[in-house]
């Protein structure tokens, strides 16, 4: 083990001395994050209306109330469309955001479970964040209204049975009454929850930063695996094997160096984005450590596998670009996963990058619950095991072939 640690420290020292490695580890991702944050961020303070699209997939009285409220809102220019058209318009930049009222909205309003409204957007500014806050507030208001209406109907039915067919009429009248009273309350009550507030997930700035971070980590770690290939080609492995160092110790040292270098990159980029741009990474350092450690192991395994499939580092660089960029796009690193159709999301479950996004979204949504990253971390560790086993099998196959 000591020999492996020595090899790892030697490799880490070599990489950190290399200026090109410094650029790929820190300078390039920081530059991209900065450009994208300033490109998407900073809403203006003007009173210009924000164009938003509404897709009402539920088409019930409750969903129509939400549509009507948005149409009457002075801050938004509203256009009603469907979900697929909304996604297309957001990607093409023809609207700032799209509100998708999902099927089952009215039932979820009654039960208080799930997230019945999706807000699709590619921007990160104060107006979009304000829209999200207002949507959450109005959905909660509808929940309260529906709860009051149903409880009142139960009381009325218990006192005097309602004539058949008049239920819906009485319900609509009660809704109008409660809605009017909530618009003009006689008593104003302000309440604060003493428990940890559950967030709706990663905000656009955090999501953008996470996507860039994942892409650059994957590129750097997989390309770093090329050092194993390079050492084989330049005779370093043979020289080490001629001493008392075993092959297992050499491989372990190489993998350990890649893992540590990956963590140095993760730590610098997370701290930079947190303290320079105020990116929200949640309140669970343990969750972040667990999730990114599992991700680093998975992409290290992928890198070792790819290094065994090629003959030189130039081929590995080309293969890395072919594999990492498409899978990162498929995972949703460059756009919100909410904009992706369901069949693509199912395919995306078979790439490691998806599980980092899922894990971080759950971690931020649930405050500081480290348990929220257990499943994504386990899946990433399975990816790591599969990649390492496949790498061993490929390496043995090539050795026997020669």
* 223 and 178 part of one domain: no
Unique residue bearing structure tokens 């302000």: 190
User: What does pTM read for this prediction?
Assistant: 0.63
Query: pLDDT-based confidence at 194, cuts 50/70/90?
Result: very low
**How much of the chain exceeds pLDDT 90, in percent?**
13
Stretch 190-201: mean pLDDT: 46
Which H or E run includes 84?
helix 83-92
Angle at 69 between CA 63 and CA 72, to 5 degrees: 145
Share of the chain above pLDDT 70, in %: 72
Residues 242 and 174 in one domain: no
Q: Which residues of 312-347 are buried (b: 16+ CB within 10 A; e: fewer)?
A: ebeebeebbeebbeebbbbbbbebbbbbbeeeeeee
State which of 149, 183, 217 marks the end of a domain. 183
Report the domain count for the chain. Answer: 2
| 147 or 293, greater pLDDT | 293
Residues 139 and 256 in one domain: no
Residue 6 forms part of a structural domain? yes
On whether the CB atoms of residues 63 and 101 are closer than 8 A, the answer is yes
In a domain, 215, yes or no: yes
Task: Give yes or no: residues 100 and 28 share one domain.
Answer: no
Structure tokens at 217: 């980590």
**pLDDT, the chain, mean:** 77
CA nearest neighbour of 223 among 9, 18, 6: 18
Same-domain check for residues 374 and 343: yes
Residue 93 lies in a domain: yes
> What are the φ and ψ backbone dihedral angles of 97, each rounded to 5 degrees?
-160, 165
The CATH number given to whatever domain includes residue 102 is: 3.40.190
pLDDT at 191 exceeding the cut of 50: no
At residue 225, the pLDDT reads 80
Whether residue 16 is found in the same domain as residue 55? no
- Residue 157: give the domain boundaries: 50-183
Among candidate residues 200, 222, 211, 203, the one with its CA nearest the CA of residue 332: 211
Establish if 281 belongs to a structural domain: yes
Q: Considering the domain boundaries, does residue 313 fall inside one? A: yes
Model confidence pLDDT, tens digit, residues 63-79? 888 888 888 887 788 88
Confidence of residue 4 (pLDDT cuts 50, 70, 90): confident
Q: What pLDDT score does 43 carry?
A: 39
- CA–CA dist 369, 359 (Å, integer): 11
- Are 62 and 146 within 8 A, CB to CB? yes
> Cβ distance 345 to 252 under 8 Å?
no
| Region of residue 284 (phi > 0: left; psi between -120 and 50: alpha; otherwise: beta) | beta
Note whether residue 195 is domain-resident. Answer: no
Q: Would you say residue 400 has pLDDT above 90?
A: no
Range picked from 37-46, 97-106, 187-196 for highest mean pLDDT? 97-106
- Domain C-terminal end among 183, 212, 242: 183
Please indicate, yes or no, if residue 45 is contained in any of the structural domains: no
Q: Identify whether residues 309 and 175 lie together within a single domain.
A: no
Q: Within this chain, do residues 23 and 86 fall inside the same structural domain, yes or no?
A: no
pLDDT of 45 strictly over 70: no
Going along 82-219, which residue ranges are E strands?
A: 97-101, 117-121
Residue at 189 is within a domain = no
Kindly state whether residues 251 and 345 are assigned to the same domain: yes
Transcribe 240-303 into DSSP letters: HHTTT--HHHHHHHHHHHHHHHHHHHHHHHHHHHHHHH-----S-HHHHHHHHHHHHHHHHHHH
- Strand order across the beta sheet in which 76-81 lies: 76-81, 50-56, 97-101, 117-121
What are the structure tokens assigned to 294, written together?
């599992």
Work out the average pLDDT over 100-121: 77
Does residue 28 sit in the same domain as residue 61?
Answer: no
Residues 221 and 363 in one domain: yes
Do 339 and 289 belong together in one domain?
yes
């Amino acid at each position: 083990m000591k020999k492996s640690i020595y090899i790892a420290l030697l490799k880490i020292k070599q990489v950190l001395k290399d200026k090109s490695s410094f650029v790929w580890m820190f300078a390039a991702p920081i530059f991209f994050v900065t450009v994208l944050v300033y490109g998407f961020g900073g809403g203006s303070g003007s009173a210009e209306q924000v164009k938003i699209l509404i897709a009402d997939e539920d088409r019930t009285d409750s969903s129509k109330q939400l549509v009507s409220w948005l149409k009457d809102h002075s801050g938004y220019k509203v256009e009603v469309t469907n979900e697929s058209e909304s996604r297309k318009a957001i990607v093409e930049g023809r609207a700032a955001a799209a509100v998708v009222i999902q099927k089952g909205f009215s039932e979820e309003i009654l039960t208080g479970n799930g997230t019945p409204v999706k807000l699709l957007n590619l921007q990160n500014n104060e107006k979009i964040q304000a829209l999200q806050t207002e949507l959450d507030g109005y959905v909660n208001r509808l929940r309260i209204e529906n709860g009051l209406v149903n409880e009142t109907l139960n009381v009325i039915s218990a006192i005097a049975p309602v004539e058949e067919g008049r239920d819906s009429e009485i319900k609509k009248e009660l809704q109008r009454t409660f809605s009017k009273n909530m618009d003009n309350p006689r008593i104003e009550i302000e309440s604060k929850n003493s428990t940890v507030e559950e967030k709706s997930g990663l905000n656009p700035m955090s999501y953008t930063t996470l996507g860039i971070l994942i892409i650059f980590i994957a590129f750097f770690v997989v390309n770093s695996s090329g050092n194993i290939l390079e050492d084989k080609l330049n005779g370093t492995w043979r020289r080490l094997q001629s001493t008392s160092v075993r092959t297992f110790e050499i491989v372990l040292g190489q993998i350990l160096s890649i893992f540590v270098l990956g963590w140095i990159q993760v730590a610098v980029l997370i701290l930079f984005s947190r303290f320079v741009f105020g990116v929200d990474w949640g309140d669970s350092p343990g969750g972040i450590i667990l999730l990114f450690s599992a991700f680093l192991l998975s992409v290290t395994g992928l890198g070792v596998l790819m290094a065994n499939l090629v003959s030189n580092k130039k081929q590995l660089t080309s293969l890395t670009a072919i594999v990492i960029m498409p899978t990162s796009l498929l995972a949703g690193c460059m756009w919100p996963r909410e904009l992706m159709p369901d069949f693509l999301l199912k395919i995306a479950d078979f790439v490691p990058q998806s599980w980092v996004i899922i894990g971080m979204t759950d971690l931020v949504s649930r405050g500081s619950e480290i348990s929220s990253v257990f499943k994504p971390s386990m899946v990433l560790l399975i990816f790591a095991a599969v990649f390492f086993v496949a790498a061993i099998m490929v390496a043995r196959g090539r050795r026997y072939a020669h």
